[in-house]
Chains A and B, each alone.
Chain A
């Protein structure tokens, strides 16, 4: 019974995922099309400045990008190309967009990975402690600092960390050095400030979520029963309360990845000059390089979709109480 339901549920979610992917692609296509400038304009300006015949150049560009075809054909090509992995040509860096993404994704990935691990570890531990000792001095301090953490704009925090540790104290470089190999201690050292910048806001969020998820369960009857039968407090908290709090927590952490972490990483990369996907999108914006901006936006939306899908399915699989009908 449950097995068939689970299978149907997964099929339904996959079906939704396809619809959402289509929605993402369609919305980006419409936005680019409706926009006041054409992707070819900047290119055109460059070539026309070199004294080429504008009409000829326009025709050539339109043919090159398929802009002379009817709109539905352009739409079909756009969908087809993105799905097939033909993501277009980045003229500001003179390479295919897919190559650009392949060489730069790792920088974003390491930043997000380290920040998430740090934030989850510290945030969850503080949250548990805070909930167990509710209304204690530590709880008040933790709550107050988590307020500060969620309120501090991470790009300002990054600038302040640079000001304090790089400019005034000279402990770190003021920018990210790509000459340093990725898997080295020096790279870890130069990631300290960016990771802190991104992690502090997330940490504060996780502290709050953990605290409230723990408190939701702490007052339940099964906790009283566990205590009554003489289980040590460590087991009660770790096994009975935390296990029940962890599922909603994971959902929120995964959800955060989309709304807060991707945007936060984008800004952190810009502040520290880390050449990740955010930074290449940022550079592309000021070079009017449409293909790159579109691809970075679509990729991040698609990643979030996958993460959400995986979380939902795992959630339904792990928690026998869940039924979404």
Chain B
């Protein structure tokens, strides 16, 4: 059995490649099952990249990971942030099972305050032609209250957590993968290629990130998968620059020269030597990029350019701003969640950066 695996591994050129192929097949199968979900393709591609370039190297250097984990653990805020992110992931994955449909309107239960709060509501009485004021208490059925269409706020918040995490992780994945590739290739090849890639980076960087997003989504129309893709395809510039400067110093190191002398191809040097050596930088940049991406998506939905089919935090906040005088909680809750999420990722990113390299100031 083990012999068979080893032989197979030799045929495809190493254990790593065998695992890669097996995973690709596995992912391909799951993909077939959810062919109609547009984000499935992104999960596939990013999952593979993530396994090869993050999980595999980390697994191979368990001792080092343990050492860094000890250092991250010393930063209490980072641990707190990590706990919040884990909580958010659990909420996004399992929350929808326990909450009602976030899009189901119920006008009899509209504008209910959160549990423990009481508001007064004016109701028009057609028989006496007068406005009666009555007090409304929050109910346990809707712990965070409802909006002006009677939709459950908790359910909307959970749906929003799902959207934000998806966008944050997937779009950052694309941006970081693309940025790393462009940065490393640019640094390694140098010369004309470097010049062209860096001018391209300059051009994309010159657009204000958010305005470019607005522009593209305006032209092509909003759908969640498309927004993820676009944030990924426009957000790589900063990553590319940082990785390039790091890779420039790596390029002339002895181990790169040695593998070149041994006849390694450019592709192999880039993928097997340069990328693994900037992996700690990549992890830090990725963690610190997630907040910006999540905020960009929320801002897009806030101005009404989000995917109208999914309930996201920005969309709820937009509705909340329009009913500030009757139901303030609708505006408070999604923004607070957005704020805590961004804060948590910033704390974790900061903790990771300090653990990897206390002197760097990215």
Contacts and interface: CB of A to CB of B under 8 A. Distances in A.
B331 A281 contact: no
Contact of B218 (A152, A153, A293, A304): A293
A19 interface: yes
A180 interface: no
A159 B206 contact: no
Interface string A158-178: 011011000100000010000
Given A148-B343, A300-B211, A16 B299 contact: no
Contact of A31 (B219, B303, B334): B219
Contacts of B207: 24, 27, 297, 300-301, 304
A301 B208 CA distance: 6
B298 A285 contact: no
A270 B211 CA distance: 13
Nearest to B220: A35
B332 interface: yes
Contacts of A23: 199-200, 202-203, 206
Interface string B52-94: 0000000000000000000000000100000000000000000
Interface stretch (B8-16, B116-124, B180-188, B320-328): B320-328
Contact of A267 (B220, B303, B335): B303
B295 interface: yes
Interface class of chain A by DSSP: helix
Contacts of A293: 214-215, 218
Contact of B324 (A159, A263, A270, A285): A159
Contact of A271 (B77, B220, B321): B321
A263 B49 CA distance: 31
A31 B208 contact: no
Given A23-B203, A212-B361, A152 B211 contact: no
A31 B215 contact: yes
Interface of A: 16, 19-20, 23-24, 27-28, 31-32, 34-37, 147-148, 150-153, 155-156, 159-160, 162-163, 167, 174, 212, 216, 258-259, 262-263, 266-267, 270-271, 281-282, 285-286, 293-294, 296-297, 300-301, 304-305, 308
Closest 5 A-B residue pairs measured CB to CB?
A263-B210, A156-B335, A23-B203, A35-B219, A262-B208
